[in-house]
Structure 1
Amino acid sequence: MPLNTSANPALPIVKDTGLITIEVFPQRHRLLVYLDHIPYKSFPVAVGNPSTPTPVGEYIVTYKGKNWGPSFGSRWIGLNVPWGVYGIHGTNKPFSIGQHASHGCIRMRNRDVEELYEIIPVGTKVTIFGHVLGEANQELKPISEGDAGAVVQLIQNRLQSAGYYDGPCDGRFRYSTTTALKKYQRQNGLVPSGVVTKAVYEKMGLLE
């Protein structure tokens, strides 16, 4: 059953207030830098593999650092993803550039991330494109308490909009999300398992 790509899932929205912005296209393995909405630089990147995808949405750069360790190359540019530590960084595996190969971060060649590091300030808006549920042919897995990520955040948003959940939509599946989900399931004729199953995705209009 295909994803409902017209479902307009709620995502973090960041107001564009800076002269410099970044756009990342995971399927194209490409990062673009814009100066006042005009393309300025383009870099090849590696992104998350299917089991640990790069988070889709709008974020901001919150930290810049150097030499975090060999796996992160010569520069680290941190993003404000609420459920984990994600960033744009260099790599000691330059052969991975152009692939779905990371644990969710955006990898760049060290020379490229060093150039990017000098261009962008903290506070830069970063837009990562894609559908929060993944590609159209991707199998949706059940999620439950203890999981984290963009799909959890989407479910929290849906539960909150429907009046079942009043906690933070932070992408972390805690007991409060389980409780809200069970209530949603009971009141919508579903088994109150506290697990986001295919039936839950369908009931929330996320699958066509």
Structure 2
Amino acid sequence: MVYASRYLRLMSPFMMGPDVNAVQNRLKELGYYQGAVDGIFAPATEEAVRAFQAQAGLEADGVVGPATWDALGMGEIPPARGNKRISIDVQKKILNLSENNRLVKTYPVAVGKPETPTPTGNWTIIEKQVDPGGPFGARWMRLSVPWGGYGIHGTDNPSSIGKAASHGCVRMYNEDVIDLFNRVEIGTPVRITGRVDLGRILGLGDSGDDVIQVQNQLAVLGYYGGDIDGVYGSQTQDAVRAFQQDQGLDPDGIVGPLTYDRMQQVYDMALGARQP
């Protein structure tokens, strides 16, 4: 229920990938990072992230989430070009490639989970990388989404294709992503459509699947011990307030954008989540 690509942070083993590479590149451009741009989130990268966050007036926690991505900026974005277009339907979980307004090919894809949806909108391919490996599979094509490290990529989990399974990226079978990679260039426009539920502002008396999600996350984090019933009662409100207090947020017992984002980050970290 929050637009957030995977939270980049110091873990053991180290997080690796083209999204880390993008952060290192940008930090180097801005003068905060002097190490190798190797796509490995090691202590030197965390130290550079903390320094940047402190200078930017952000919480210097060394975690690259939406606010840090947005503050880093993207540098120069290549202009849209070419006669090919990519369109992705997050509800149908398909990617269409067209050329001169004629459909060329359709591929099945995996998209973001309900709690971390794929960002809808009009984007551009701004980077291409061969063999990023691991969960990114055989190819990587970064999208111009300013608040995250989102891309179209392969996978090491082919059974996830056709499902809402990612942290917001668009996954493809490796043979399909290689085919698409060879057909498009940097600057190819990408339009992502479909219904995305970013969650209501929740408070006492609300009910629904979004409340269930909040209760589940709070239960995993040790704040909530009641029934997972989708009803925002006083026990859920107290758990939200305790979480907000511990995270330095306004403990108003209301789940809004800041609380959603922080809860997802802390939840990911508690589970050791690292999949894009």
Match of 1:99 among 153, 163, 179: 163
Rounded to whole Å, the distance in 2 between the matches of 1:141 and 1:57 is 22
- What is the aligned residue count? 130
Q: Using CA pairs under 8 Å that are at least 6 residues apart, name the structure with larger relative contact order, 1 or 2.
A: 1
Q: Which amino acid aligns with 1:38?
A: R
**Could you tell me which residue of structure 1 aligns to residue 118 of structure 2?**
54
Match of 1:140 among 200, 206, 209: 200
Question: Pairwise mapping of residues 6-85 of structure 1 onto structure 2 (< 5 A)?
Answer: 17-85=81-149
Unaligned 5+ segments in structure 1 are 1-14, 143-192, 199-208
Cα offset, 1:70, TM superposition: 1.2
Say if 1:18 and 1:141 are closer, same or farther in 2 by CA, change over 3 A: farther
Task: Give CA deviations for 1:44-85 in whole Å, capped at 9, x if unaligned.
Answer: 000000111000000000000012221000100100100010
Unaligned 5+ segments in structure 2 are 1-78, 203-251, 258-276
Question: Pairwise mapping of residues 106-145 of structure 1 onto structure 2 (< 5 A)?
Answer: 106-131=170-195, 134-135=196-197, 139-141=199-201
Rounded to whole Å, the distance in 2 between the matches of 1:16 and 1:117 is 16
Does structure 1 residue 86 correspond to structure 2 residue 150? yes
Larger strand percent? 1
Runs of 4 or more off by more than 4 Å in structure 1? 195-198
The normalised TM-score by structure 1 is 0.58
The normalised TM-score by structure 2 is 0.44
Task: Give CA deviations for 1:7-66 in whole Å, capped at 9, x if unaligned.
Answer: xxxxxxxx9652000000010010000001100010000000011100000000000001
Task: Give CA deviations for 1:154-182 in whole Å, capped at 9, x if unaligned.
Answer: xxxxxxxxxxxxxxxxxxxxxxxxxxxxx
Q: Which amino acid aligns with 1:140?
A: R
Larger helix percent? 2
Cα offset, 1:139, TM superposition: 4.1
